[in-house]
Structure 1
Amino acid sequence: MRVRKLKIFGLYDLFDFDVSFEDNETVIHGINGSGKTGILQVLGWFVTGNIERLANVEFTQAGLEFEDAGGHLIAYQLVQDKRSSKVEIYKNQKKIGHYIRSSRAYGESQEDEDTLQQWRTELSHSLRASFIAVSRYGETRFRTRSIIPKDPYDTAYSRSTRSSLENAVWRAENIFARAQAAATNQERVVLTKLRNDLINRIAEPFSLDDSTKTGEWEERLLSVSEKIDQYSDHGTKLIDIDPDALLEAIVGDDTNKRLAAVAVVQQLERLSGIIGRHFSQVEQIRQRTRSFADALQSFFGDTYKSVTIDENRATLVFTYGEKSLFPRHFSSGEMEIFIMLTYAAFGEDGLGPPELLIIDEPELSLHTAWQERLLPTIRQLNPVGQIIIATHSPEIAATSLDHLVAVAPINAPAKEGLV
C-alpha cells in the first residue's frame, strides 16, 4: 500500500496543506516554520497507529488517501474536536471509532481501547510503516530510580538521564535483535525443509552409471565436493564427505568399491542441486544483515571504526582498533545513522525493509559528507519501499532532485470531500 495524498486543515490553528506523494520517493523542503514537521507528524503517527501522539498534534481535519496493491484508493479522514479533545476516525466516509485525549488522565474508556486496537490491527495488516522523528531527539527525559541499600541506615539515590536519542538507539538495538531472531527462525525453516528434501531424494531409486572414464569421475568428484563444501550451517557442514577416500576407491582395482564410490558421486550430484536452491534462500536471509553491516561500515569507517557481524551470536560488533565499542560510545551523528539505517533495513518489527519509511530532518548532527550519502544508502537497504523525508539539507535534496516537493500553506478550500 502507498500513501498518495495528504490534506490538513487548521494545523497549529495556522496552516492548511495539500501534499501529493506521486513517486516512490519524496523529499519535502521548505523554510523554517513552514509546517514540514507537522505534516510528517500527522502522516507518521497515523500510519504507525500511534493515535495517542496523533491526538497531541493540533489540527482541525486531515484527509489521507492510500492506494493498495490492486490500485484501489482508500480514503481516511480525521476530525479533531479541541473542546472535547476527541479525534474521530473515518474510513471511506464511515466512522470506525474515536479517541479522547483527555481520557488518558482517567484511564481510557473501552471504546477508546477498541478504536486503538482496531486501528493498529488494520494498519499492521495493510501497511508496514516506520516514522523516525529525528527533529525530536534533542529532548532529554529524566528517570529517577532508588537503589535499595545494603545498610539499613544508609540511603542512596541516583538520577540517571537518557536523551530521546539514546532511547531511540536502545529501541534500534532491540529491532536488530528481533531481526536476527526472525532471520534465525527463517533459516531454521529453510534448513529443516532442506533436510527433509534430502532424505526424500536419497530414498528415491536411481540408475547407476559406470560408463564414464576414471578421469572424468575424478573431475566430477572434485566439482561436486567444492559445491557441497560451500554450504554450511554456521560452520557445520551439511554433508561431510571424504573426497580422498572416494577418489582412492574410484581409481582402485576393487570393482565393488569403485561402484560404491561412483554411486556416492552420482548421489552427491543429485543432492547438490537441492542444497544449492535452499542455500540461495539462506544466503538472501544472511545478506540482509551483511548489507546492513556494510552500510554502517561505510559511515563508521570514516573515523577508523570497524563494524562486523558475530554470526554465532547474531550480533553486531563495533571496534576501534582493539577496543570494543558500544552504542553509548557513539557520537550523536553516529547514533542517528545507526537508528535510521536500522529502521530502513528492518522496519519497526524487525521483519525487513518497511513499505513506508518517514524521516523528519535526518540531517541533524550529520556531517555534510554523510548527508550526501544518506538517502542513496537508505535506498540500497530499502530498494522498493516508499520513502518520505522532510529536510533543510541541500546535500540530501541534491541526491533526489526529481522527487523534491516544496510545501507552503494554502488558502483553506471547502472542507467537503477532503480526498
Structure 2
Amino acid sequence: MSHIIKFSIKELAGRKKEYTRILNEDINIFFGLNGSGKTSLLKILHAAMSMDRDILRNVPFKQANIELSSKKTEETFIFEIKKNLTHIAKERLDLPEILFQENIPEEIKAELEILSQHHHKQEKISVEVNSKEPFRGLRHTYLPVSRPYPTKRPERLPLSEGQLDLLFAKNLQDLWRRYSTEMLSHIRKIQEDGLANILKTVLSAEESNHLNEVMTEKSISEEMAYEQMRNFLNRQNTNIDILGTRDNFIQRYAKDTRLQKVVSDINAVEKEIEHTLLPRQHLQRLIQKMFSHKHIEFTDSDILVKTEDDRALGLHLLSSGERQLMLIFLETFLAGESIILIDEPEMSMHIDWQLELVNAMRQLNPKAQLILATHSPEIMAEVSDDKIFRLNNE
C-alpha cells in the first residue's frame, strides 16, 4: 500500500502562509470555498506521483514538498516540486496595418509599437524525488472535475453530449473487462491447480490405507457430496448420469476414500472461486442498493443495466449522477492498495448518495487512501473531524 504521509505547499492559491498537513492513511477530505485551492492541491499531489510537470502549468503555487510511504518497497519518497519564473518573453502581435500608415502621427505609432509587443512570463517547473531506483511514478487514481471519463480524455474535442455519453460507456466497459480478464485468469489457475490435485489422487499408486490416514474424518457428508458433485457437473455442462443414482453414489462415497478426496479437492476449488468472486458480488450489491429503480449486473464481460420491467439499457443512458456514482465505485474497487484523489465527487449526485458515498467507498476498498476535495457538507457528514481539513482563503 502507498499513502501520502504529509505535504507542505508554499503560496497555494496565493496564500501568504505555507499550507502544511499530516494526512490519515484512510480518509482525508478537503473542504473549502471556490478559489481556496482544493483543485490545485489535488493537481500537485497527482503531478508528483505521475512525475508530470505539465499538469502544474497555471497551477497557483511556488513550491511543494510531499512525503509518501510505500509498504510494497518499504521506502519513503520525498517529492520536491519547484516553480520559477525564468524570464519575460516577447511575441509580436499582428495589429492591423492601417494603424501604421504614413499619415499617423509618430507618437501614436510609437505607442502602437509598444502595444504590439505581448509580454508573458515563462515558468520553469522541476519535479524531483529521492529514490533508490529510477522513478517512473506511483500507482494512484485521479478523477478531476472535468470528466466523465474513467480513462484518458480523447485527443479530439469538443464532442457532442451524445458522443461523450457513448465514450463514457465504452471506457467504463473497457475498464471492467480488463479487471474481468485478470479475475478469470486467476480462476483458471485455481481450476488448473484443483485438477492437478484430483489427477494426483486418481492416478496415485498410494495404498488405500494411506488415503484412510489422510481422510480420517469426512469433511463433507454423503448428501452434501452428492449435491456438490451434481452442481459441479452441471456448471461444467457434463452429463450427471456418470454419478449414478443418489443411493449408489452415497454408498460408494461412504467407502471410497479416493472419491472422498476428489470431492474434498473439488470443494476446495469451489470455495476458492467463491472467495475470488465475493468482491464482485459486493460491488454489484452496493451499486444495486443505490440504483433502486434499475437492475445492475456485472458479468464476466459486461456491465448490464436493465429497467424494472427487464428492458435493456445502455450505460450511456444512465443519468449524470448515476454515471458519476458508477465511475467512482468502479475506480475505487479497482484501485487496490493505492491512493485515490477525487475532485468534487458530489457532482450531479442526490444528497442521499452524497451522505453514503465515503462509507460505501471504504466498504469497496478499505485499504486505499482516500483524498477528496469537496464543496458538499453532506460528503463529510458521517466523517470524523480529524479527517476533515478546511481550506480557508487565508
Name the TM-score, length of structure 2 as normaliser: 0.75
- In structure 1, what is the equivalent of residue 100 of structure 2? none
- In structure 2, what is the equivalent of residue 309 of structure 1? 298
- Whichever residue aligns with residue 67 of structure 1, its letter is S
Alpha-carbon separation, structure 2, partners of 1:42 and 1:144 = 25
Q: Displacement of 1:277 after TM fit? A: 2.8
Matches within 5 A, 1:38-77: 38-55=40-57, 57-69=59-71, 72-77=75-80
RMSD: 3.6
- In structure 1, what is the equivalent of residue 93 of structure 2? none
Counterpart of 1:375 (choices 341, 347, 358) is 358
Matches within 5 A, 1:20-419: 20-55=22-57, 57-69=59-71, 72-83=75-86, 85-92=123-130, 119=135, 121-123=136-138, 128-133=139-144, 135-137=145-147, 143=156, 160-161=160-161, 167-204=167-204, 205-207=206-208, 220-231=221-232, 235-236=235-236, 242-245=242-245, 247-248=247-248, 261=252, 265-301=256-292, 304-311=293-300, 314-320=301-307, 321-347=309-335, 353-402=336-385, 403-408=387-392
Task: Identify which range, 188-197 or 328-337, moves more after superposition.
Answer: 188-197
Give 5+ residue unaligned stretches, structure 1.
Answer: 97-117, 146-158, 212-216, 252-260, 348-352, 411-419
CA deviation map 1:42-68 (0-9, x unaligned):
112332454432445343211110123
CA deviation map 1:302-326 (0-9, x unaligned):
xx11112344xx3221011232111
Q: Displacement of 1:143 after TM fit? A: 4.8
Alpha-carbon separation, structure 2, partners of 1:238 and 1:68 = 48
Local SS of the residue matching 1:63: strand
Pick the structure with greater CA Rg.
2
User: For residues 236 and 35 of structure 1, do their structure 2 counterparts lie closer, same or farther at Cα, with a shift above 3 Å needed?
Assistant: same
Local SS of the residue matching 1:136: coil
User: For residues 262 and 279 of structure 1, do their structure 2 counterparts lie closer, same or farther at Cα, with a shift above 3 Å needed?
Assistant: closer
Alpha-carbon separation, structure 1, partners of 2:35 and 2:269 = 53
Local SS of the residue matching 2:276: helix
- Whichever residue aligns with residue 68 of structure 1, its letter is S
CA deviation map 1:270-318 (0-9, x unaligned):
12332333333322322222222222211211xx11112344xx32210
Alpha-carbon separation, structure 2, partners of 1:229 and 1:291 = 27
Alpha-carbon separation, structure 1, partners of 2:390 and 2:14 = 21
Asked if 2 retains the 8 angstrom alpha-carbon contact of 1:61 and 1:80, the reply is yes
Asked if 1 retains the 8 angstrom alpha-carbon contact of 2:173 and 2:303, the reply is no
CA deviation map 1:313-364 (0-9, x unaligned):
x3221011232111211111011011101101113xxxxx352111111111
Local SS of the residue matching 1:387: strand
Local SS of the residue matching 1:371: helix
Number of corresponding residues: 344
Local SS of the residue matching 2:35: coil
Alpha-carbon separation, structure 2, partners of 1:373 and 1:300 = 13
- Whichever residue aligns with residue 43 of structure 1, its letter is L
Q: Displacement of 1:369 after TM fit? A: 0.7
Alpha-carbon separation, structure 1, partners of 2:255 and 2:248 = 13
User: For residues 324 and 171 of structure 1, do their structure 2 counterparts lie closer, same or farther at Cα, with a shift above 3 Å needed?
Assistant: same
User: For residues 81 and 144 of structure 1, do their structure 2 counterparts lie closer, same or farther at Cα, with a shift above 3 Å needed?
Assistant: closer
- In structure 2, what is the equivalent of residue 8 of structure 1? 9
Asked if 1 retains the 8 angstrom alpha-carbon contact of 2:346 and 2:376, the reply is yes
Local SS of the residue matching 2:379: helix
Local SS of the residue matching 2:11: strand
Asked if 2 retains the 8 angstrom alpha-carbon contact of 1:67 and 1:74, the reply is yes
Alpha-carbon separation, structure 1, partners of 2:233 and 2:245 = 21
